[in-house]
C-alpha cells in the first residue's frame, strides 16, 4: 500500500515511535503525523484542509478520555473523511474477538492488527 499521508493515533509514545520507524522504513507514506489521543487527532483533522487529510489512519482502541471506537464514531461525521475515502487500520493490544468484530463493522476499517506492528502486517494491507 502507498499513502500520501498516514496518521498514527496512540497514547503510548514508544508505540508511536516504533510504528513511525517501521512505516518510514517501508517508505509507504510521503508524510506521517502522530497524535497521542483520539481527541487531539479529531481536533487536528478538523483543522487541516482536504488536501492534507490522511489516506490511512492507524488507530489504537484503548486510550483515555476517548477510545478508538469513540474516534471512529466521530470520524464518520467528518465530511472530509468520507470525501477523501480515509481508511483505518486498528492497531491495538486487544486480541479480543469482540473488539475485532466491532471494529470491522465500521466501513472505514480495512484491517485489525494486534501490536506490535511488523513488516508482514504492512505488506498485507490492500493496495
Asked if residue 120 has pLDDT above 90, the reply is yes
Whole-number pLDDT of residue 83: 67
Mean pLDDT value of segment 30-38: 97
What is the domain extent for residue 93?
A: 3-124
Distances 32 to 53, 54, 60 between C-alpha atoms, Å: 11, 9, 16
Query: Which whole number is the average pLDDT over 35-58?
Result: 94
Whole-angstrom CA distances from 92 to 50, 65, 119 are 27, 17, 16
Model pTM score: 0.96
Residue linked to cell 501490536: 115
Q: Which of 8-17, 61-70, 80-89 has the lowest mean pLDDT?
A: 80-89
The structural domain count of the chain equals 1
Amino acid at each position: 500500500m502507498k499513502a500520501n499521508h498516514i496518521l498514527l493515533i496512540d497514547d503510548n509514545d514508544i508505540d508511536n515511535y516504533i510504528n513511525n520507524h517501521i512505516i518510514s522504513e517501508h517508505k509507504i507514506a510521503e508524510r506521517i503525523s502522530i497524535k497521542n489521543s483520539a481527541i487531539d487527532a479529531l481536533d487536528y483533522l478538523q483543522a487541516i484542509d482536504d488536501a492534507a487529510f490522511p489516506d490511512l489512519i492507524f488507530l489504537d482502541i484503548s486510550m483515555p478520555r476517548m477510545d478508538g471506537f469513540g474516534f471512529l464514531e466521530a470520524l464518520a461525521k467528518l465530511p472530509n473523511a468520507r470525501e477523501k475515502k480515509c481508511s483505518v487500520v486498528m492497531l491495538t493490544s486487544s486480541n479480543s474477538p469482540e473488539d475485532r468484530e466491532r471494529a470491522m463493522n465500521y466501513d472505514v476499517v480495512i484491517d485489525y492488527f494486534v501490536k506490535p506492528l511488523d513488516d508482514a502486517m504492512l505488506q498485507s494491507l490492500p493496495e
